[in-house]
Structure 1
Amino acid sequence: MTATPSAPRVEHHREPLGIGEIRPRLSWTVTANGPWRQAGYDLELTRATTGVPAGGGSSGGGPSGAGGRVRTEVVTVSSSDQVLVPWPGEPLASRERATVRVRLHGEDGTTSGWSEPAALEAGLLEPGDWTAVPVGAAWDEDPDSDDRRPSLVRREFTVAGTVVAARLYATAHGLYEAEINGRRVGDDTMSPGWTVYGQHLRYYTYDVTELVRPGANAVGAWLGDGWYRGRLGWNGGFRNLYGSDLSFLAQLELTYADGRVETVATDGSWRAAPSPILRTGNYDGEDYDARAEHAGWSEPGFDDAVWTPVAVRERDPATLRAPTGPPVRCTEEVRPAAVLTTPSGGRVLDFGQNLVGRVRLRVTGPAGSTVTLRTAEVLQDGELYTRPLRDARSADSYTLAGRPDGEEWEPRFTFHGFRYAEVTGWPGDLDAAAAAGDLVARVYHSDLERTGWFECSDPLVNRLHENVVWSMRGNVVDIPTDCPQRDERVGWTGDIQVFGPTASFLYDVSGLLAGWLGDVEREQLPDGTVPWYVPVIPSKQRWTPIRPGAAWGDVATFLPWTLYERYGDAGVVADQFESARRWVDCVDDLAGPDHLWNEGFQLGDWLDPAAPPDDPAGARTDRYLVATAYFAASARRVAWLADVLERVKERDHYTALADAVRDAFAAAYVLPDGRMTSDAQTAYALGLRFELIPDELRAAAGRRLGELVRADGNRIATGFVGTPLVSDALTDAGELATAYDLLLERECPSWLYPVTQGATTVWERWDSLMPDGTVNPGTMTSFNHYALGAVADWLHRVVAGLAPAAPGYRRVRFRPRPGGGLTWARARHRSPYGEVSIEWRIDDGALVVETELPVGTTGVLELPDGISVELVAGRHEHRSVLSEVAV
């Protein structure tokens, strides 16, 4: 029997360059030609250090990968573990490079060959590694204006010798794009992203060895407002919330063949000039005048005599941290599906898909002419409809330089949520230009690895699932957001709390969400209160005070558990345990001795379809029932987290607390006949899924939930809280047929109603577009919100039948539940151990199920006829009789 390990994966990084972990954990997958099992492994670690000595400097010696010390060691471990195993050697030092390979030992006595090596490199791990300071234009305009013109900054330097390695470590107050010798550095955008800037500013590491050359060189950067000083928040928002400056902070380190290291850092020697970007902002778009370009500005020999000396600003280097997830990148280009002429004579590009990104244009025309693109998600009465954008201008303009061979432009420092783009001022035939690809929508989001897929025999359900995927893509632009188009786009904690299980199936969000949870803890108040959204828009909280709220604050307990369940990452449990515990302690203090959280402000079952447009919190379910249910569920999760960490005292304490809250909930909200004081779908879904209803009353409560769904004509009657739970609650209660009826209903409100209306993303409201074709009059009417798409997790686990039965899918539960007239379904997921898949079909009255498990996992197949089959790694097929009841 032979086994072959993959190259090890380093932590959750796809590109382990400039990482911040000093003891990065390692993972690998295994392929084998039979039922092989790992008994142990060898890790071969080859290390080399490079870069400047601590404290930096313009030159100096020190260990270097270009002829410095290199050593190899092999560590042998007796273990079947292959996911996030401990680092096998001493901690990494700043700039240190290493390669690691793995060799496996099987229970059968065989030994594999060595895997391909994985290369990794540490970033700048200590504050003393930084010599750079933030620099930017000294001529900042009115700090109360959102129309300030951004700047360019640059500096020239000389390379005296053969460079064998060059690294650029870069970040900014605001956003940046760096250039060296006229060429773009990296392919990321909107960097360094949005973090709790005062405590946490992300930097990125770039390998720029191929960009530098002997002799004269130049380095520079474009700067933009972004989240740092641009407008944030609704009702006009606020500016300069983190600072009023735009500043670039970068360190270019050159390692020569002879071992010398030279550092070119941002300092007072840099120079600045106004950018051809006239204004830029996330909400309002970007205006660019190509006539104001500085040709060759990032190349050596450029005359910057008229440029001004930069202003030097401050940044505590202890706040600079390497990323844990991938940056934002362009992941796809979408051409217009149609060019429309509106009733008023406007010209509108229809890209056929609601997406997040920017429009790139190629255009030829006279100097001084301006092309403007105004974006929106929907049309109404045939015209671009921008009211749902509220105060977001969402428009870009490009003023031509008049180059006879044409010009190409795309905004740098903004993003829009849109399907339609109205074009004015186009100098030529717009239809021909669109057909030729001269106007293309470029899709931007955090460049997460796709890991999950689902399909079934119903095309509308497939489109629903695709809409969920698109909404997730559009709402992970650096952080998990609520919407990507209007004057909001913030990291609402409740949205990702309910969507986390779906997100972690569809994409590898392990690094991104672990990093974001760190900012949740940074923003947590001393009393344990978790803000409604993270990062918090600071300083002026009169319109969004930080106060405890159920379902939203519970992200501190639910999301770490989700990441542990889906990725097997006990590290995130350890990192977030205190944050989770403090949140539950906060709620415990608020609830008091009776364990009922029945006072204070709550959003409750937000956007229940029965809620009036001007009162989205006006749900059918008592908001304090919701709050107490979440209190019990979060206390239970803290006990589970404590158990993972083997913290017995805390486990026992929070288990007892969860039991007490459960009993208080049942006494207050569950009636003796199994009905609830709020006779509403969300109330029963919470009580059943969070196991708060006494065992002897669960069957009655489940029947009542089914009755309510049927009484509502199988239409949705839940909001953000109930929607992720109601399908599972019905399934658990023996109401699977009703759960399918709920899924497949097409009348408003339902999951498929937006699909029948042509939706290509998930809406914020069930009726964001009303049946009469008009847009919902509510002030919150987004056409791209992933929260209500949390039903996709039920599609994966129940309809297809694929779920983790042990952390990280080390054990898999295959439990297909056919129904709703579906004749087949399939799902596959790239788990930490490799690809897991299931496909079932109804074939001549029988249920045929095909499954696949990777090496290192086991599984159980639970069939509708009650038979359970134990599975080992490999492909399997099972056939069983399917009763009419099941279909």
Structure 2
Amino acid sequence: MNHKPVTVLLSVLVISLNCLANLNKKEEIGLYGLTCEYLTNPKGIDEQQPRLGWKLRSLNEKLYGQTQEAYRLIVASSQELLQKNKGDVWDSKWVNSSQTQQIAYNGHPLSSDRTYYWKVCIKDERSQVSAWSDVNSFTTGFFDPKEWKGQWIGDDQRFTPGGADCNIWDPWLKKTFTLKEQTGRAFIYVASVGYHELYVNGVKVGDGILAPVVTDHTKRARYIAYDITALVRKGKNIIGLWLGASWSIFGPYHLEANNRPLTPVVSAQAFFYKSKNPSKTDLPFDTLLTNQEWKTKKSPNKLLGVWDFSNMGGEQWDDRKADSNWNLVTGAEEGWKPVELYHPKLVVSAQMVEENRRLTPIKPIGIEHRPDGSYRVDFGTNFAGWTEIPVSGQPGDTIRFNFSERKSMETTFNIRSSFIIGATGKGVFRNRFNYSSGRWLTIKGLKEAPRLDLIKGWLVRTNYKNATTFECSDTLMNWIYDKVRWTFENLSLGGYVVDCPQRERMGYGGDAHATSETGMYNYQLGAFYTKWMQDWRDVQGTEPMVGNMYDGRTARKTVTSGRLFNNGILPHTAPTYWGGGGPAWGGIVVSLPWYVYEHYGDKKILEENYQLMKNWLSFLDTQVEDNMLKRFGGQWDFLGDWLWPNATAEGMNNDKPQTLFFNNCYRVYNLRTAQRVAQVLGNDKDALNWEREADSAADAIHKKFFNPATHTYSDGSLANLAMALLSETVPAELRAKVMKALEDEILIKNKGNISAGITGGTVLFKLLRQELRDDLIFTMLSKTTYPGWGYMRDNDATTIWEMWEKDLPGHSLLHSSFLFPGAWFIEGLAGIKKNDPGFSSIIIQQPNMGNTRLSWVRASYDGPSGRVETRWKRSAGQLQLKLTVPPNTTAVLKVSDQEHILISELKGRIQELPNEGGYRVYELQSGSYSF
């Protein structure tokens, strides 16, 4: 495209800050977004040196080049001491540093079951001291396993596999106790296998739901800390625990039962102190532990389905058994009996991730009375979450609720719930220990029409925070961006990303490639991915989907046997074990920590998972001959790309040569990523070994699979060309020619449409982002013909599908497969890129769009270094660009070398650098600019 030179003048962009009115006029910089281990005021952490962080914002729009030259952190055992600036636990004093994230606590040893309060202030580039930040806190859990005294309790029910529905009624458990005096501080810590709800004197504690997050229950249980100080009183009290079967009966978790019964169980302990802020040596005046003194009774709620493939089911509520007094001191004792004690061999650790919450409300848009007497409710969007449905009828009537993703089907994936009418003839169905997924709800058994305005829905997900806003002039781009985000939110429930919320709920490593960078560019997910990596460490060493293993063992006869090999092998999902995959599925344990490090500057996640990476790469080494990875595993253990267009018709045979090529290149990509990890950690020997392995493998792959006549590899598919380039398997002198072959594959052979699946599409978009080929990404996203996102929109999609095809039976219409464009909207169109790990230095780059209809973009990203804003608009041949660079950060601005920028007004704040690859390059200090 030919551009005429455009002259644009630089001036200050005025930003209105409403908070200025409440601040001292002398203050030029403010602190916000305080976190402890990525969390805001977390409770029950078990990290003895938690990392603290904050962000900076300018309070004076006229200033440029604001920086943090030093910080002072104070941690105190009480708010009163903190208000006096007395850090009896830790006073860092002034530390000359610009660091604002990943600052490890370095004070007196922390005590278990205590609350600590902290704040921070900084000195700026003029040595001016900022105001103190808001007061934040963190509560400790337990650092020594011996401190966990609660016994595991439950009732005498046992799940019986093989049926259509679960045979266990969700149990109530309760304990009445007396406090001799009013408590100043009371926390209870609850770990459960299966979901739980906590009640104190009849009041549900907290806003969390579906607690705890999903965990590998062959090895671990996570506890949640609840502050119950305001709910207990001097005298008689009652604590109630309501357990839900859910993950307690999940197949892979009882294949290696580890002395754990097939029933939900719970362990809890509460401590009551006289003081609001007990000292390190203060002892509780009373404690409460789960033990044989607790009592149990079956609740009116039970799981429908068996928490199995295509039968995750729903819930049944029998209102005839309802007892609103079960968790009150005044409740009747009839029907209650002693609990049973259990002795599972589980590590008990803190839930170091945000809880699940009921969030975005969803109002149905229509209701249809059908000829068979049922009512069909349209929620207007496909979603995974909770519903609330008023019902009425004769006592004993069963009202049934069937959920569907497809208008043509009454039920998809057996997602269903029911309500049995009680004595009053009326009731309200509400979810408690399961969730539904679908757009349409069919209600059967009602004798009068339900009121549409009383039927409610909510998205349910892990309660991480948003990081991004994005909007542009192209309606299709906005649709894709919104639906990618909505789909991601519907898949991120329980501290990991599921492939789909209705059929499997598996944490696939391959699918994680399609979602992880999208997630990090749009949400604040440091705790989320840290937790998921612990899940991967827990599952390592366990046999994946199908046997025929690697050390001469006999091929296994069943799927998901759960056999332990105690080597570096990985199943294809975590923490869920189930499912098929290939090297890119286990290989997420190398890729994901590296992406987190790049995004958040988190070196610890590399350290914690380094041995996991080494073990995985060592396992792959056992499957290598002559520098080439060979086919290993069973039918579902060596997948390459997955679900490309028309894949089911072609057959996704993982024995094809192109699959061998893809997986060999992915191994090289893993090795090169691990080399970078080793270099960051100073493990030079490992780095050198992995570099040599990668180079030798790349040479072998190139010799075997390169097609010199066409400058392609293997079958010349988009997936394989992208994988060859991203893994640096292509020799440097051939890289441009292979890139041209990739471009021709997109534009000529596929006429601008994408032709790749989950893993292939992910590496394709990552490569194109890296190569600044925004034009090619935009071309593929702009298509409205099959296959593509525009085709989904034009076929009434409200979420992103599992396959490019809509009408294939058995596949999900809410899936993780094709969410990989989500990172590009921020990095490519908005042009916000990391220049250093953690965005301490950023790149703002005009997208390489060519001649497109896109005329404007506005976006913001609240990243680790603060809020970055960009707005660009092109009209009448003139480019207008507005941007904000947060304090303590510098930006490298890159605009087309056909644009001309006059910088005389702000000399010293903007430095022109040498041109780079068709771009004019400028270094900017922090501040707000308008070009």
TM over 0.5: yes
| Structure 2 letter corresponding to 1:109 | S
Q: Which residue of 1 aligns with 2:927?
A: 874
Q: Identity, % of aligned pairs?
A: 24
1:637 pairs, out of 673, 679, 685, with 673
Aligned to 2:516: 500
User: Are 1:740 and 2:756 an aligned pair?
Assistant: no
Residue 563 of structure 2 is aligned to residue 534 of structure 1: no
Whole-angstrom distance in 1 between the partners of 2:690 and 2:891: 31
In structure 2, the partner of 1:36 is 66
- Return closer, same or farther for 1:350/1:463 CA change in 2, 3 Å cut-off: same
Secondary structure of residue in 2 paired with 1:77: coil
Judged with a 3 Å threshold, the aligned counterparts in structure 2 of structure 1 residues 686 and 342 are, in CA distance, closer, same or farther, namely farther
1:83 paired to 2:101: yes
CA contact (8 A) 1:762 1:788 kept: yes
Aligned residue number for residue 384 of structure 2: 356
Shift of 1:672: 2.8
How do 1:591-602 residues align onto structure 2 when only pairs under 5 Å count? 591-597=624-630, 601-602=637-638
Does the Cα contact within 8 Å between 1:296 and 1:302 map onto a contact in 2? yes
Secondary structure of the 1:552 match is helix
Matches of 2:739 and 2:708 in 1, distance apart?
14
More deviation, 146-155/613-622: 613-622
Tell me by how many angstroms 1:342 deviates.
Answer: 4.8
- Structure 1 distance, partners of 2:466, 2:210, is 21
Q: Could you say if the C-alpha distance between residues 364 and 70 of structure 1 is closer, same or farther in structure 2, counting changes exceeding 3 Å?
A: farther
Q: How does 1:266-415 map to 2 (within 5 A)?
A: 266-280=290-304, 282=307, 283-316=312-345, 319-342=347-370, 346-380=374-408, 383-386=409-412, 389=413, 393-403=414-424, 407-415=427-435
Instruction: Give the drift of 1:734.
Output: 7.8
2-side partners of 1:114 and 1:78: how far apart? 17
**Structure-1 residue corresponding to 2:860:** 828
**Residue number in structure 1 paired with 2:755:** 717
1:730–1:739 Cα contact (<8 Å) kept? yes
Contact 2:880 2:930 in 1 (8 A): yes
Deviations 1:681-737 (A, max 9, x none): 111111222222122222221221122222222222111122123345456668654
Q: What is the correspondence of 1:13-52 to structure 2 with a 5 Å cutoff?
A: 13-32=39-58, 33=60, 34=63, 35-47=65-77
The partner residue of 2:616 within 563, 567, 583 is 583
SS at match of 1:19: coil
- In structure 1, list runs of 5 or more residues that go unmatched: 50-68, 770-774, 879-887
1:588–1:257 CA distance, 2 compared to 1 (3 A): closer
The alignment's TM-score, normalised by the length of structure 1, stands at: 0.89
Alignment partner of 1:776 out of 808, 813, 828: 808
Alignment pair present for 1:841 and 2:864: no
Q: 1:358 to 1:592 in 2, by over 3 A?
A: same
Q: Which residue in the other structure is 1:860 paired with?
A: 892
CA distance in 1, matches of 2:771, 2:148: 59
CA distance in 1: counterparts of 2:787 and 2:369, whole angstroms: 32
Amino acid in the other structure paired with 2:463: D
Give the drift of 1:785.
1.1
Q: What SS class does the counterpart of residue 693 from structure 2 fall into?
A: helix
Cα distance change on mapping 1:731 and 1:370 into 2, 3 Å: closer
Relative distance call for 1:94 and 1:609 in structure 2 (3 A) is: same
Cα offsets for 1:585-620 (capped at 9, x unmatched): 222231233244456552111111132248345799
SS in 2 for 1:26: strand
Q: CA deviation at 1:472?
A: 0.8
Specify the alignment match of 2:720 in structure 1.
683
Secondary structure of the equivalent of 1:162? coil
Give distance in 2, aligned partners of 1:636 and 1:343.
62
Could you report, residue by residue, the CA deviation over 1:161-204 in whole angstroms, capped at 9, with x for unpaired residues? 12111111112122111111111112212212321223221110
- In the alignment, the residues of structure 2 paired with residue 343 and residue 798 of structure 1 have an alpha-carbon distance, to the nearest angstrom, of 51
**Equivalent pair of 1:7/1:118 in contact (CA under 8 Å):** no
Aligned residue for 1:515, secondary structure, equals: helix
Q: CA deviation at 1:305?
A: 4.1
How far apart are the structure 2 equivalents of 1:732 and 1:448? Answer: 27
Which residue of structure 2 aligns with residue 8 of structure 1? 34
Compared with structure 1, are the counterparts of its residues 15 and 745 closer, same or farther at alpha carbon in structure 2 (3 Å cutoff)? same
Secondary structure of the 2:209 match is coil
Q: Distance in 2 between matches of 1:759 and 1:26?
A: 42
The letter of the residue matching 1:376 is: S
The aligned residue for residue 691 of structure 2 is 655
Q: Give the Å deviation of 1:403.
A: 3.1
* Offset at residue 340 of structure 1 (A): 2.7
User: What is the TM-score of this pair, normalised by structure 2?
Assistant: 0.85
How many pairs are equivalent? 831
Structure 2: stretches of 5+ with no match in the other structure: 1-26, 80-86, 277-281, 542-565, 898-918
Report if aligned partners of 1:48, 1:71 keep a CA contact under 8 Å in 2.
no
Q: Which residue of 2 aligns with 1:669?
A: 705
Q: Is the 8 A contact 2:41 2:136 kept in 1?
A: no
**Matches of 1:692 and 1:838, distance apart in 2:** 35
Q: What per-residue deviation string (whole Å, max 9, x for no partner) do you get for residues 526-580 of structure 1?
A: 331121111244xxx8xx58xx822111101100001001111111011011111
> Larger relative CO (CA 8 A, sep 6+): 1 or 2?
2
For 1:415 and 1:332, locate their aligned partners in 2 and report how far apart those are by CA, in whole Å: 14
Mark the CA change 1:36 to 1:570 in structure 2 (over 3 Å): closer, same or farther. same
The match for 2:169 is 149
Q: Is the 8 A contact 1:270 1:309 kept in 2?
A: yes
Cα separation, 1, equivalents of 2:773 and 2:466: 32
Who is 1:119 aligned against?
Answer: 137
Q: Secondary structure at the match of 2:94?
A: strand
1:186 is paired with a residue of what secondary structure? coil
Conservation of the 8 A alpha-carbon contact between 1:746 and 1:752:
yes
CA separation of 1:239/1:555 partners in 2, compared to 1, >3 Å: closer, same or farther? Answer: closer
Compared with structure 1, are the counterparts of its residues 874 and 474 closer, same or farther at alpha carbon in structure 2 (3 Å cutoff)? same
Contact 2:89–2:107 under 8 Å retained in 1: no
Indicate conservation of the 8 Å contact 2:293/2:338, yes or no.
yes
Corresponding residue of 1:61: none
Distance in 2 between the 1:758 and 1:618 partners? 33
Judged with a 3 Å threshold, the aligned counterparts in structure 2 of structure 1 residues 658 and 71 are, in CA distance, closer, same or farther, namely closer
Q: Is the 8 A contact 1:196 1:523 kept in 2?
A: yes
Indicate conservation of the 8 Å contact 2:35/2:41, yes or no.
no
Aligned to 1:20, the other structure's residue is in SS state coil
Distance 2:202 2:428 in 1: 16
1:854/1:427 CA distance change after superposition, 3 Å: farther
SS in 2 for 1:657: helix
Letter paired with 2:895:
L
2:111 is the counterpart of 1:93: yes
* SS of residue in 2 equivalent to 1:276: strand
Structure 1 residues 320 and 46, CA gap change in structure 2 (3 angstroms): same
Distance 1:424 1:30 in 2: 55
| Post-superposition offset of 1:267 | 0.8
Q: CA deviation at 1:143?
A: 6.5
Residue identity matched to 1:744? S
Using the TM superposition, give the Cα deviation of residue 466 of structure 1 relative to its aligned residue in structure 2, in angstroms.
1.1
Who is 1:65 aligned against? none
What is the aligned partner in structure 2 of residue 701 from structure 1? Answer: 738
1:342–1:864 CA distance, 2 compared to 1 (3 A): farther
- 1:727-786 deviation digits (Å, cap 9, x = unpaired): 45456668654432211011011121101112111111001x1xxxxx213x4x111112
- Out of 134, 146, 154, the position equivalent to 2:152 is 134
CA distance in 2, matches of 1:831, 1:97: 28
